[in-house]
A and B are shown apart, each in its own frame.
Chain A
Amino acid sequence: MDSYFRIAGSLVGPAAIFAILAVAGCDAPPGSFNANDLYAQVVATRQNSQPGQAAADVSMVMESLFGTPDAPKLPNAIPTNLVDPENLTRAAGPVYSDEDDTHFGIYRSRCVVCHALDGSGAGPAAALQNPYPRDLRAGVFKYKSTPRGEKPTKEDLLAILKRGAPGSAMPAFDRLPQEDLDALVDYVIYLSIRGEVERRLIQFAVTEMGYGDQDGAAIDSERLILDAEGKLTDPELRQTVSQIIENVAGQWSDPTPITVPPMPDFEGDDLVAAIERGRELFHGQQANCASCHGTNGNGQAVTLDFDDWTKEFTTLLGISPGDKAAVKQMRKLGALPPRPISPRNLSWGVYRGGDDPETLYRRLVAGIAGTPMPGLLVQEGEGSTGVTLDQVWDLIAYLRSLGDLQLAGTSR
């Protein structure tokens, strides 16, 4: 009989845990998108002022315009060929699928652990990654075909989703059906536009409205206030907000890829010579790749630099990323601990942005947006500051020889 009590006893513990879980056992509904408190602090610090209620009030305006994670809305200024409303609802919201294998809530199912509900890149699993998942709200993307300051094309986003970024946590989603990928691309654009509009509105609120001042926030005309229908009370502010949305959405309207001139036909001795010229350039003064990437691209050069998402709330505000106390204030507002960015070890031939000559050409010419990796200045004749077109191809021949790739060969 006493083993009976032992067994009964062993059930009590799990049963208690079960009871606790069952009581707590309901999802916290996501409710609203998080306010971008970090950016409000960044803007205020630049201004030497305080963010006050700016982020919270902007967030309220944002909700009236863009909806919530479960019920997203599309402002009129965003064309439906850019973000398809059907794709938007399919990618957003809770996860389920139907008998026809149509999936809903795809973003929450596949992306949210890393990129977070609002696309801040500070998802639950983000803190242990290097590089961190992209903060989509800043509207800056690394792997794209367009000039450095421009938005990626939809094809670029689709490409990174399908290909993933080897060596980072960003998975390849090539097993998802095309409709799901299209929906995700639209949702990434939605989150990005939403995030950028929010940032600009915060910037406006802190610099142009009363939020930055000590007592300005007390004056109604200096604040963002919604009427009963959820519209801004002040018509002038309404105008400003639609202007901001239009501007941000406009950047996405038709980003143009960098045109890639035809690649020279390197063969045999020509190729050997090109690689040799490329090696010299790589280590020389003009391109100076070796200063960051190390001799023969071995990744051994000593550098200490950060990406733009990190610099925004540290060095650009005069805060050293190593200053634990100051950084802690930013982390409380949602920043992840600063991580140095290291130039890639190119001798391994691992390319997150794709390794075919065409995308490599664009990456060398434009650099990598958001990172210290600079673009090359391409000029007509040979000079001391820039490189010629042929020299770019020489560099690519050299890079690909490092990773044991054949120039003309297709991607591994």
Chain B
Amino acid sequence: MSDTLTQPIPANIDAVPPGRGLHRWSILIVCLVWPLIWVGGQVTTYDAGMAVPDWPGTYGYNLFLYPYQTWLFGPFDLFIEHGHRLLGALVGIASIVAVAFAFVSEPRVWVRSLSVVVLIAVIGQGALGGARVVLADRTLAMVHGCTAEIFFTLCVTLMVVTSRWWWAQSANSPRSLLQVSSFRPSGGLIALVGVVLALAYLQVLLGAQLRHVQPTASPGGFKHLVYTHIATAFLVLSLAAVAAWKLRSKAIGRQVRSAAGSEKAEANQNGCGDLTLSRPAMLLVLFVSLQITLGLATWVARYGMPLFAQTNPSMASYLVKSQAFAESLIITGHVATGALVLVTSAFLLLRLVRANYSRRPEWVAS
């Protein structure tokens, strides 16, 4: 694979299949970062961010040399905080390897740069986490939580742009490898999903404000944050639903036409429109719905059953349990699912942009 570099670079660089290694490796990173967000979320849910007072070491030990007995069987807070650091370090190492992969096998300069950006981001993210500990600063903990989601989005971006799907969209690529639909998403649709992505990140910021609320914050401010968070959630759901419906409606439209008898063969072949776009859109709607459900559950787990919902004895007897494990999974699950909403909208947006770019009529014709 490395010999791609020695070959003359073709005019349309997108046409060259990127090395599969970088793509597989970036999938691995994505699969590590999501658990990392879970563990980091648990650190906040349990308020365990200061369970290890020093950084980058752990109680004077080098991060990797801290006795595993104390880590695994010591205090729970130390278990998650140190575990978060170890997993973070693992992701850091994986990012270094990704850069190596990129420079060996990736012909596109901008993708190589992206891998470097991912590496810089993970280093910055680690440093931010360290600053949070060293300065014992809760606001930095919040910033660290918000930048984690940006990092996750970057990793997913790397994954998408190195995928087979991505380069198969190129006009010069051998189309037989992947069935490429001729459906070209409109600029409006791209803008719509762009708004969903922006709102999804706004939700991350709002949620982080609620989770990392300062002891001196005003009750009025908190209340408004909650209302904004809820209202935005339903806005995201409706916009995502519109996007999914638009992507879906092409297929429905075709089916309608095929029912009318014309273009039957094509309709059968493309019965579901472009699945590579409609599926992520459906997934997005699913994740947003799940996220709203988890959000309500998180409220209840933290602040009890709202009075209007106390309509029967089991609802009215709901007891908030501090530090309960099942509840902590709901609360952290809300954070982790929020990250999924964010990266799924990023994933969809990237694919839409790519499809829009590569399926221009003049290209498709050629």
Contact = CB atoms under 8 A, between A and B. Distances in A.
Contacts of A26: 135, 137, 139-140
Query: Quick one: which of A14, A109, A114, A164 has the most chain B CB within 10 A?
Result: A14
Given A99-B78, A129-B304, A176-B323, A124 B114 contact: no
B4 to A, nearest CB: 19
A348 B313 contact: yes
Query: Quick one: which of A27, A108, A175, A349 has the most chain B CB within 10 A?
Result: A27
A169 B304 CA distance: 5
B110 A4 contact: yes
Interface stretch (A16-24, A134-142, A214-222, A230-238): A16-24
B303 A124 contact: no
B214 A3 contact: no
Contacts of A167: 304-305, 310, 316-319
Interface string A3-45: 1101100010110011001101111101000000000000000
Please classify the interface of chain A as helix (H, G, I), strand (E, B), loop, or mixed, using the class held by over half of its residues.
loop
A127 B219 contact: yes
B47 interface: yes
Contacts of A169: 303-304, 320
Interface in A169-184: 169-176
Interface string B193-210: 000001001000100000
Contacts of A100: 75
Interface residues of A, number: 63
Contacts of B319: 164-167, 171-172
A96 B51 contact: yes
Nearest to B301: A171
A171 B50 CA distance: 23
B318 A27 contact: no
Given A22-B143, A96-B136, A124-B214, A172 B322 contact: yes
Interface string A317-349: 000000000000000000010000000010011
Contacts of A14: 147, 150, 201
Contacts of B49: 95
Interface in A110-151: 110, 112-114, 116-117, 122-130
B321 A122 contact: no
B216 A7 contact: no
B137 A97 contact: no
A98 B59 CA distance: 9
B274 interface: no
Contact of B215 (A1, A96, A98, A112): A112
A6 B353 contact: yes
A385 interface: no
A168 interface: yes
Given A3-B353, A7-B110, A18 B150 contact: yes
Given A21-B146, A99-B74, A175 B219 contact: no
Interface in B209-239: 213-223, 226
Interface of A: 1, 3-4, 6-7, 11, 13-14, 17-18, 21-22, 24-28, 30, 69, 94-101, 103, 108-110, 112-114, 116-117, 122-130, 164-176, 336, 345, 348-350
Name the 8 nearest CB pairs between A and B, nearest first.
A101-B75, A96-B50, A4-B110, A127-B219, A171-B320, A348-B313, A169-B304, A124-B217
